Amino acid sequence: MATTALDGMTVTREKIYRGAARAVYAVSTRTWPTMMEDVISTTDFELASGWVDLGPTNDDGFTLRRSVETFDGIPIAQLQTNLDEGEPETWAMEGECTLMDTSIDKIEIVWQGGTQAAIAAGGSNVAQHSLPLDAPASFTSRRLAFIQQDAKTSRMRVFVFRDAITQVDGSDLKMGKEASGIPVKFKLQVDTTIELNSGQFGMLFEEDES
């Protein structure tokens, strides 16, 4: 069966890509990608080694925000003239989406859960897993990528970020008759050890028109 990156009508048992985008992550020490194929194959859509699927987003896709605070300027003596007024001082980025896969593995990542434990089936219980929901003192930093494919042209693009942490505040998991995704926000942190023009926040890879 043929598959495309995001077409929910042509799927295999292992790969379900319904939604406007696909979110994946890797450990923070994962080698930084130099092309989109370092994240995902553009032919069979298998993830590159070390990248883990968070699954599809809902039809709203994902939102990326990029903002900057500027200098107020430095007063000179008693004059009203300022130096460098309006120049960028602090850059910030964040992303958010609603993930449609609400399995225990995804909740572990999104809610900064503890380490899962397997509980074997017994005489009075089914086989199951448990996930501790604690109050950790710090957040886990990970590589993060959002993958999109144009439905008309099949061209792909991949946003990759060096240092992403989940922002658990306001992440509501609604459980009812209708299937519901889990909203998630990511703080995308700048890596100041990276040279300018090398992607201090991350990188966007976009397939050329054929």
In the block, which residue shows the tokens 């995902």? 40
Residue 111 is assigned to a structural domain of this protein: yes
Closest CA to 48 of 38, 59, 58, 56: 38
**DSSP letter at 147?**
E
Confidence at 12, pLDDT banded by 50, 70, 90: very low
Contact 76, 83 (CB under 8 A): yes
Mean residue pLDDT of the chain comes to 82
- The two structure tokens encoding residue 81: 């003239």
Q: What is the pLDDT of residue 152?
A: 78
Reported as a single tens digit per residue, the pLDDT across 13-62 is: 333 334 578 999 999 999 999 999 999 999 888 999 999 999 888 888 88
Within a 13 Å sphere around the CA of 6, how many CA atoms are in the beta-carbon half?
23
Contact 106, 54 (CB under 8 A): yes
In the block, which residue shows the tokens 């000179």? 76
Contact 3, 10 (CB under 8 A): yes
Q: What is the domain extent for residue 95?
A: 22-70+85-206
* Residue 187 reports pLDDT greater than 50: yes
For the chain, counts of helices (H) and of strands (E): 1, 11
Q: What is the pLDDT of residue 170?
A: 60
Residue 16 is assigned to a structural domain of this protein: no
Confidence at 153, pLDDT banded by 50, 70, 90: confident
Residue 8 is assigned to a structural domain of this protein: no
At residue 177, the 3 state secondary structure works out as: coil
At residue 65, the 3 state secondary structure works out as: strand
Residue 12 is assigned to a structural domain of this protein: no
Who wins on pLDDT, 20 or 198?
A: 198
Distance, in Å, from the CA atom of 41 to the CA atom of 43, rounded to the nearest integer, reads 5
Reported as a single tens digit per residue, the pLDDT across 56-106 is: 888 888 889 888 877 665 555 554 445 555 677 788 899 999 998 889 999
Distance, in Å, from the CA atom of 81 to the CA atom of 85, rounded to the nearest integer, reads 9
Residue 10 is assigned to a structural domain of this protein: no
Residue 7 is assigned to a structural domain of this protein: no
Total structural domains in the chain?
1
Residue 158 is assigned to a structural domain of this protein: yes
Length of the chain: 210
Q: What is the pLDDT of residue 179?
A: 63
Residue 55 is assigned to a structural domain of this protein: yes
Element (H, E) at 110: helix 104-110
- The two structure tokens encoding residue 152: 């008309």
Which of 12-21, 38-47, 128-137, 167-176 is predicted least confidently? 12-21
What is the identity of the amino acid at 105? D
